[in-house]
Amino acid sequence: MNKQFEGLPDLRADLHAAGFKLAYNVLSTSGNWCNWYAYRRSRLAAPECECNEGKGIQIVVNPYEFEIGERQCRGVEVEVTGEAGGRWHKVNAYSIKADELMQSLPEIEASLIAAWSALKRDTAAKEHQ
């Protein structure tokens, strides 16, 4: 299958240039014109996911582009997903304008990693009680 990535080509190029890998989003909804997502290991210090020992936590960018009536919507969700205390958690930022992502990505990544770190600390503290 020789499928091409579709949707938000400028954002795709910017993310790739920033060290993100691209993959096809097999879970994408039919209304989303973007058939891809981007991911990379966070460059910030963060606790590991319990099931991915030895690998740093990943930042994932899920883009969307669709039309509601006459209005086009373009945006992204940025997430950190991992296992802590035997449960899977997803920490995300959403409704981010696609053309503002690259400028705000460092701040978004820092806040998501801080939330993930707090979640891991809380989970670890409960395990030791």
Q: Is 21 within a domain?
A: yes
Averaged confidence pLDDT in the chain: 90
- C-alpha span between 116 and 111 (Å, rounded): 9
DSSP line for the chain: ------S-HHHHHHHHHTT-EEEE-TT--TT-S--EEEEEE-SS--PPPTTSTTSPPEEEEEEEEEEETTEEEEEEEEEEEEEETTEEEEEEEEEEEGGGHHHHHHHHHHHHHHHHHHHHHHHHHHHT-
Q: Is 109 within a domain?
A: yes
Q: Is 4 within a domain?
A: no
Range of the domain at 14: 9-127
| pLDDT digits 0-9 by tens, 77-107 | 999 999 988 889 999 999 999 999 999 999 9
Q: Is 106 within a domain?
A: yes
17, pLDDT greater than 90: yes
Q: Is 121 within a domain?
A: yes
Give the chain's domain count.
Answer: 1
Q: Is 105 within a domain?
A: yes
Q: Is 3 within a domain?
A: no
| pLDDT digits 0-9 by tens, 52-66 | 777 889 999 999 999
Q: Is 2 within a domain?
A: no
